[in-house]
A and B are shown apart, each in its own frame.
Chain A
Amino acid sequence: MNKSYNFLLAGVGGQGTILASDVLSEVALAAGYDVKKSEVHGMAQRGGSVNTHVRWDAERVYSPLIGLGEADVLLVFEEAEALRYAEYLKPGGAAIVNRETIEPITVTSGGARYPTEDEVRALYRDLAGRFHLIPGSALAEEMGNARAGNVVLLGALSTLLDVPAETWLEVIEGRVPPKYVELNRQAFLKGRQAME
């Protein structure tokens, strides 16, 4: 068992970062870690940028928050957000980014420019020990439900950790309505494949 992990999840309100961080936290408990999860509510429904801190420790987690430069893993659901939160990553840490762009209103009707995928790649090439741009939303859409993109990303994330896939699947199954269990199972496995 690894001693500790710091995760930062980020995305845009409505992308399912909350469910993903709930699953990530419950998996920790199921695997025998102490865990803390911290998020900020409030503006989340209104298309703002959202983030959640999740910390696992084999003994005890104190701080619910991670400082800049302290995340072992970034799991980001949207490309511009991947740039926004980059400083949280420990140099050499792992970053998994969903290949999805959601243009904020400052781009769609204002004068701001949306970054290119190459800019995201370039930034993480230098910063991260491992960088994966995963088409989570697209893979989920292929399976018939774009909303399962968050579970595809969890599948990808699971390959970096020493917890058996079955533990993840049990937690996910306990969290989604029965008629979506199979979809989410497949989404999770797709995410694992995407990392191969």
Chain B
Amino acid sequence: MRRLLSGNEAVARGAWEAGVAVASAYPGTPSTEILENFARYPNVYAEWAPNEKVAVDVAVGAAYAGRRSLATMKHVGVNVAADSVFYASMTGMEAGMVIVTADDPDMHSSQNEQDNRRYAKFARIPCLEPSDSQEAKDMVAAALAISEQFDTPVFLRLTTRICHSSTAVELGEQVPQAPASARFPRNPTKYVMVPGNARKKHPVIEERMELVAQFAETFPFNRIEWGDMEGGEGKLGIVTCGVSYQYAKEVFPNASVLRLGLTYPLPPELVREFASRVDRLIVIEELDPFLEEEIKLMGIHCEGKSIFPMLGEFDPRVVRESAIEAGLLPASAHVPVAELDKPEIPPRPPVLCPGCPHRAVFHVLNKRKVPVTGDIGCYTLGLLPPLSAIHTCGCMGAGIGQAHGADKAGIGERMVAVIGDSTFFHTGMPALANVAYNRSNVVTIILDNRITGMTGHQQNPGTGYTLQMEEVPPLELEPLVRALGIERVKTVPAFDVKALDETIKEYLKAEGPSVLIARDECALLPSARRRWLPLRVVADKCNGCTMCFRIGCPAILKSDELDGKTQRPKARIDPSLCTGCEVCAQVCPRDAILFRAQVEA
């Protein structure tokens, strides 16, 4: 049966078909849908771990116990998990284990565009890269087989374009899952990486990679497609991988192509043979010159980043225009783009949704003009005007430590750190323990919207449900924060502007650390949607003072009506967008916006 599947759906299907029994992940665009889909297959265990490191350890534990396992994450998740990836490379395991790294060229939703093939080489683990959904599915089985044959975890490296493109896939049958071993392995020389054992293991993993390189020579996902040798166009040799293969085929239909499905380690003989039969060898790959460097290390001349960009994502146009510039294609290959005389187009930045429970906190922080170290989540959007309330955003879990560091450095202001609930469980907890232990005056605000919002509503330890929707006791923030050593803790409803303001004001003066938990559900959760009730502006009372515009709510619009005195547009509320959170009603100095009770009356 042929079905259109996204790369992520295909990886989930491939894992199920290949008998993966245990999967663990932390959500992260563009990888999130892999586990969401895998979790729906019968007889599998799938979970959201609090972070990527835990996810890799869980997959390792399952593979030690004899079952095929999977851990998935976005590229920067591998940074979090790196320590575990490196020991797993040393120990190997009893059953196949795949780590999916979903890289994000062009940073569609990330803070950097690191190329995680570097990790494969760094940690000595093989790396597979599919070029479409069919391969994304089939390579899961191939990766597990390599993992078992060579006793190593295997990377399956996707990119945003592979994850989120749908292509036709021929579905297969499920191979039976291996049962768990009766006994956990007691094999210290293999599984206890104390220096004495690790020293013995290091040469083994170096040798392993040489064996994988030999294996790569005949690995079916590495293949040469000879071009039109008669016509001469086949004399151009292209080495490529991943989605770049598609652009290469599109732009150079008659060239010879060495498509590498296993991009680390490379098959030296195959590359050498290919290179020897073409006149000019070029490498088409997104981001780093990874294949290019490997080929050059073999002493083979090739061109890559001197022709194609190292930054951002490719498309057929990028490849074609770069090729024309390098003389690989005639100028006549150029595809013209209309030179348009366009009016100015208003930017449409992502914004905090109407009814977002993060809004009031940022309104208060902006008003109090305090320095705020931020973190990653929907709430990062608090950086945008008119709220303009976030001053740093580095990586998940960084904000609390930054605030502590600035405080200890003797900065002349009180530091505030904001962090979402999921991010707090991810890497915020150790940083808050540090604030408590080493005593700084940091005010930490946990924005507890009861869900992992940014990546599209994943459960987390605080929500009371697992990925497979089992009901579990929620991890409660207040006792947790107290247990970390913070005595001053208060929970405030996230839409209560006055209570937030008073608490923040008090905490900014207090000696020692404090934590404010601002709690209310994400407005897009089904339970919150049921309470939506659009508010109204009483036009007679509004004088266009702009206070409500300054909370940055998409539901508040400038109406066509001007105030007689100020000549400023009055406010209007779009009933199709307003949820009735009442933040605007609270900041209105003229009581011109009706509260829910008034609207209902």
| Residues of A participating in the B interface, judged by any CB pair closer than 8 Å | 12, 25-26, 29, 34-43, 45-49, 61-70, 80-81, 83-84, 86-87, 89, 91, 103-110, 112-115, 119, 123, 127
Contacts and interface: CB of A to CB of B under 8 A. Distances in A.
Given A106-B347, A110-B385, 12 more contacts: A40-B160, A40-B164, A41-B29, A41-B164, A42-B108, A46-B353, A69-B337, A89-B338, A91-B336, A107-B346, A109-B552, A127-B340
B39 interface: no
24 contacts: A39-B164, A40-B108, A40-B164, A41-B29, A42-B29, A46-B350, A47-B350, A48-B349, A61-B167, A63-B247, A64-B165, A64-B243, A65-B316, A67-B335, A69-B317, A86-B338, A86-B342, A87-B340, A89-B338, A91-B338, A105-B552, A108-B556, A109-B550, A127-B340
A125 to B, nearest CB: 12
B4 A37 contact: yes
Given A42-B29, A48-B349, A87 B337 contact: yes
B344 A70 contact: no
A69 B247 contact: no
A164 to B, nearest CB: 20
Contacts, number: 159
A105 B356 CA distance: 15
A12 to B, nearest CB: 7
B4 A83 contact: no
Contacts of B344: 112-113, 115
Contacts of A67: 315-318, 320, 335
Nearest to B160: A40
A123 B341 CA distance: 8
A65 B348 contact: no
B556 A63 contact: no
B335 A70 contact: yes
Contact of A37 (B165, B335, B350, B386): B165
Interface of B: 2, 4, 29-30, 33, 108-109, 132, 160-161, 164-168, 243, 246-247, 249-250, 315-318, 320, 335-338, 340-353, 378, 381, 385-386, 456, 524, 549-550, 552, 554, 556-558
Contacts of B342: 83, 86, 123
Contact of B345 (A12, A63, A70, A80): A80
A29 B554 contact: no
B535 to A, nearest CB: 16
Name the residue among B132, B249, B351 with the largest chain A CB count within 10 angstroms.
B351
B165 A68 contact: no
Q: Which 10 A-B pairs have the closest CB atoms?
A: A67-B317, A42-B109, A112-B346, A64-B165, A46-B350, A38-B165, A43-B350, A104-B348, A69-B337, A109-B549
Given A37-B165, A62-B249, A45 B4 contact: no
Nearest to B314: A65
Contacts of B249: 62-63
A81 B348 CA distance: 9
A68 B337 contact: yes
A109 B345 contact: no
Given A42-B108, A64-B167, A108 B558 contact: yes
B2 A36 contact: no
A38 B557 CA distance: 33
Contacts of A109: 386, 549-550, 552, 556-558
Contacts of B30: 41-42
Given A70-B316, A105-B349, A45 B247 contact: no
A29 B550 CA distance: 49
Contacts of A68: 317, 335, 337
Nearest to B356: A46
A36 B246 CA distance: 11
Contacts of A35: 4, 167-168
B346 A43 contact: no
A119 B346 CA distance: 13
A113 B243 CA distance: 38
Contacts of B161: 38, 64-65
A26 B250 CA distance: 23
Contacts of B341: 123
B349 A106 contact: yes
B349 A104 contact: yes
Contacts of A104: 346-349
Contacts of A80: 345-346, 348
Name the residue among B166, B247, B250 with the largest chain A CB count within 10 angstroms.
B166
A64 B136 CA distance: 15
B554 A105 contact: yes
B524 A45 contact: yes
Contacts of B168: 29, 34-35
B316 A63 contact: yes
A50 B385 CA distance: 21
A19 to B, nearest CB: 13
A92 to B, nearest CB: 10
A114 B247 CA distance: 36
Contacts of B349: 48, 104-106
Contacts of A37: 4, 165-167
A38 B246 CA distance: 13
Given A48-B348, A108-B556, A62 B247 contact: yes
Contacts of B386: 109
A49 B348 contact: yes
B346 A113 contact: yes
Given A104-B348, A106-B347, A36 B315 contact: no
Contacts of A36: 132, 165-167
B423 to A, nearest CB: 16
A13 B392 CA distance: 27
A70 to B, nearest CB: 6
A41 B456 CA distance: 10
B508 to A, nearest CB: 28
Given A38-B164, A45-B456, A70 B317 contact: yes
A47 B338 contact: no
A108 B250 CA distance: 43
Given A38-B164, A69-B317, A70-B316, A106 B346 contact: yes
Contacts of A64: 132, 161, 165, 167, 243, 246
B4 A26 contact: yes
A87 B336 CA distance: 10
A45 B132 CA distance: 26
A127 B338 CA distance: 7
A12 B346 CA distance: 13
B594 to A, nearest CB: 20
Given A40-B108, A65-B161, A65-B316, A108 B557 contact: yes
